[in-house]
Chains A and B, each alone.
Chain A
């Protein structure tokens, strides 16, 4: 009886050992696209906003600049978000005052006052987000 048990256990375990698959398919498939380059996180939308003429000109001009001009440029802006994105967002948020805010941002885009900004870790640029202007 004892030998029978031992032999049965041996046969069953051997069957499992030799036919054991390398791993489970879901485990292997979880590594699919492991080496896919990370998509750049878009910090802006290229959607054209036809709500009114001002927004139409602003958003289409921004989209044209981003697609045809900025895409051919290296990393130039010292800030995150970049000046063009900042300008678009501040004008959307603050209206006319945003135009002056955008001009102010352009005058500051020179990197000569690093002590005034935190570093945005992922991009290693100065962090200067758009804020609501109190009037």
Chain B
């Protein structure tokens, strides 16, 4: 029995000496393989583990990969923190420029267009036309987000290299009115005058009919109550319901117009993307 226990102890000791934990280099390699395979969700905790054991001298590329993983999982604010950290650790100027673009992309995706502009305007593109074009494209997107469409057009034109495409972009932006249609205020007023009209104006016909029928039925209820009892009764029974759905109707009309306008703008923006992306094929 004693011999058995002793041999078990010896075996355990030998095994413990042979078994080694995953080191930082192996962890990093494993994270890279996951990242390359497109499994960013799985790669993220592994990169974080690698970064933890690298402290305090964390590799800039690990931080960048962590940020890329966050960006891939639609967390631009979190990605920004790591891109920023990576930027200050990084020593290569060319990679620093690329990190500025990535930071700007995070700001664009989180709707912080002014911050994106601050990053981009403070960047020196140098003599590289590639970086200059990219910078112009990003600035164009930022101005587009800030609803300054003439400025946005100016930068998108600069970002394009082919004269025919520059002309196409100018044509897209020639009619500035289309960026402001449908107008939410107008939609709201239409629905105030005739319930449902704002929804029709925004292209939401079914919702318009619904609003018209709903508010119409409360008006009918009001008149019915007046005819069988008194206006005071109607004031307390039908009017609150009418007020609720009448007010809701014109608020929804404005909301729908705003959404429709955003969709229209997005379609225009995608046309610009098609033109500029087409140049690279």
A interface residue numbers (CB < 8 A to B):
17-18, 20-25, 28-37, 68-69, 71-74, 76
- The reply to whether the CB of B79 lies closer than 8 angstroms to some CB of chain A is no
Hey, what's the 0/1 contact readout for B231-254 against A, CB within 8 Å counting as 1? 000000000000011011101100
Which has the most chain A C-beta neighbours within 10 Å: B137, B251, B280?
B280
Contact of B244 among A29, A33, A34, A73 (CB under 8 A): A73
CA distance A129 to B146 in the complex (A): 37
Q: Which one of B20-28, B32-40, B268-276 is at the interface?
A: B268-276
Enumerate chain B residues within 8 angstroms of A24, measured Cβ to Cβ: 280
Instruction: Evaluate contact between A28 and B276: CB separation under 8 angstroms.
Output: yes
A68: min CB distance to chain B, Å: 6
Enumerate chain B residues within 8 angstroms of A20, measured Cβ to Cβ: 128-130
**24 contacts across the A-B interface (CB closer than 8 A):** A17-B128, A20-B128, A21-B279, A22-B130, A22-B137, A22-B161, A23-B130, A23-B133, A23-B134, A25-B281, A28-B273, A28-B277, A29-B273, A34-B108, A34-B145, A35-B145, A35-B262, A35-B266, A37-B258, A72-B207, A72-B211, A72-B248, A72-B252, A73-B245
CA distance A90 to B250 in the complex (A): 32
Instruction: Evaluate contact between B270 and A72: CB separation under 8 angstroms.
Output: no
Instruction: Evaluate contact between A32 and B134: CB separation under 8 angstroms.
Output: no
Instruction: Evaluate contact between B134 and A74: CB separation under 8 angstroms.
Output: no
- The reply to whether the CB of B46 lies closer than 8 angstroms to some CB of chain A is no
Instruction: Evaluate contact between B262 and A22: CB separation under 8 angstroms.
Output: no
For chain B, the bracket of interface size reads 35 or more
* Known A36-B266, A76-B244; contact A22-B276, beta-carbon cutoff 8 A: yes
Which has the most chain B C-beta neighbours within 10 Å: A18, A31, A37, A69?
A31
- The reply to whether the CB of B160 lies closer than 8 angstroms to some CB of chain A is yes
Instruction: Evaluate contact between B249 and A36: CB separation under 8 angstroms.
Output: no
Enumerate chain A residues within 8 angstroms of B245, measured Cβ to Cβ: 69, 72-73
Instruction: Evaluate contact between A22 and B248: CB separation under 8 angstroms.
Output: no
Enumerate chain A residues within 8 angstroms of B137, measured Cβ to Cβ: 22-23, 28
A74: min CB distance to chain B, Å: 4
B10: min CB distance to chain A, Å: 54
Instruction: Evaluate contact between B277 and A25: CB separation under 8 angstroms.
Output: yes
B interface residue numbers (CB < 8 A to A):
105, 108-109, 128-130, 133-134, 137, 141, 144-145, 159-161, 207, 210-211, 214, 244-245, 247-249, 251-252, 258-259, 262-263, 265-266, 269-270, 273, 276-277, 279-281
Instruction: Evaluate contact between A29 and B277: CB separation under 8 angstroms.
Output: yes
CA distance A6 to B262 in the complex (A): 53
Listed from nearest, the 10 A-B pairs whose CB atoms lie closest are: A22-B133, A73-B248, A21-B280, A37-B262, A74-B248, A28-B277, A35-B266, A25-B280, A20-B130, A36-B266
Which has the most chain A C-beta neighbours within 10 Å: B128, B247, B248?
B248
Instruction: Evaluate contact between A22 and B244: CB separation under 8 angstroms.
Output: no
CA distance A29 to B274 in the complex (A): 8
CA distance A113 to B251 in the complex (A): 27
A44: min CB distance to chain B, Å: 18
CA distance A20 to B262 in the complex (A): 33
Instruction: Evaluate contact between B280 and A69: CB separation under 8 angstroms.
Output: no
CA distance A30 to B280 in the complex (A): 14
* Known A21-B280, A71-B252; contact A33-B108, beta-carbon cutoff 8 A: no
* Known A69-B214, A72-B245; contact A22-B263, beta-carbon cutoff 8 A: no
A37: min CB distance to chain B, Å: 4
Enumerate chain B residues within 8 angstroms of A72, measured Cβ to Cβ: 207, 210-211, 214, 245, 248-249, 252
Enumerate chain B residues within 8 angstroms of A37, measured Cβ to Cβ: 258-259, 262-263, 266
